[in-house]
Amino acid sequence: MYSTDLAEVYETVYRSRGKDWAAEAEDIAALARSHAPDADSLLDVACGTGAHLGPFSKLFTVAEGVEIAAPMRELALRRRPGLTVHEGDMRDFDLGRQYSVVTCMFCAIGYLGSVAEMRSAVAAMARHLVPGGVLVVEPWWFPEQFVEGYVAGDFARDGDRTVARISHSTLQGRATRMEVRFLVGEPTGIRTFTEIDVLTLFTREEYEQAFTDAGCSVAYQPGPPTGRGLFVGVKERKADGR
């Protein structure tokens, strides 16, 4: 998962679908500030290649990322010099500071293998929020939305590189097992590689309980940015308002 091969073509593939990370970042910033108008710092958990973090850095005084996969983290720093990307596992990271906003975008939380791991991740994110801070998590599909045997295909061109991507999804326990095959054409030749992604189909109620137990309010907003919706929470303040 998230090999060097994938990191290199990741943005090319999703850009071909019309994904606009900058527009999404602006929407998330506006959403966060509708709950916390003075929000000036953000942490993007599982920030990948920094495609959201780059725009976030222009929208917040402080914008930092956390990423476990070295190829994604290294590419983020190479493509977007000046970003701060910490090495860390979303289940138990500790950066020693808090932020106005914490985000976990593009279904990254689905890569966790159990409800207990998902709950640990949400709790770790909440610990990095100031009281009154905003937590935004984009989930993977809910169990009732899963389609057995679903096939997706993409064809993308970026400069002198052409990428074809085909995925096939099956149910593995309570997770989506997605086999993804890539065909990459470049001036040096044509190469192929395969990625196996396993994303847990957590229920809406499991996400909501994780937010509540982490000390955050929670509301689910269906739809954008990718059709899977967003969970939005605000960290509770203490009785004295702190």
Domain ranges of the chain: 4-142+202-234, 144-200
Strands 230-234 and 151-158 come out as unpaired
Start-to-end CA distance of the chain, whole Å, equals 40
**Residues 40-60: pLDDT tens digits?**
999 999 999 999 999 999 999
Is pLDDT above 80 for 1?
A: no
CATH code of the domain made up of 144-200: 2.20.130.10
| pLDDT, position 176 | 98
Name the average pLDDT for the chain.
97
CATH 1.20.1330.10 correct for 4-142+202-234? no
Is pLDDT above 90 for 124?
A: yes
| pLDDT, position 242 | 61
What secondary structure letter does DSSP report for 83? -
Is pLDDT above 60 for 241?
A: no
Task: Give CA separation, 106 vs 47, 110, 121, 205, 228, in Å.
Answer: 9, 9, 15, 19, 9
- Equal fold, 4-142+202-234 vs 144-200: no
What does the alpha-carbon distance between residue 130 and residue 101 come to, in Å, rounded to a whole number? Answer: 8
Give percent above pLDDT 90 in the chain. Answer: 97
Q: What is the mean pLDDT of residues 100-111?
A: 98
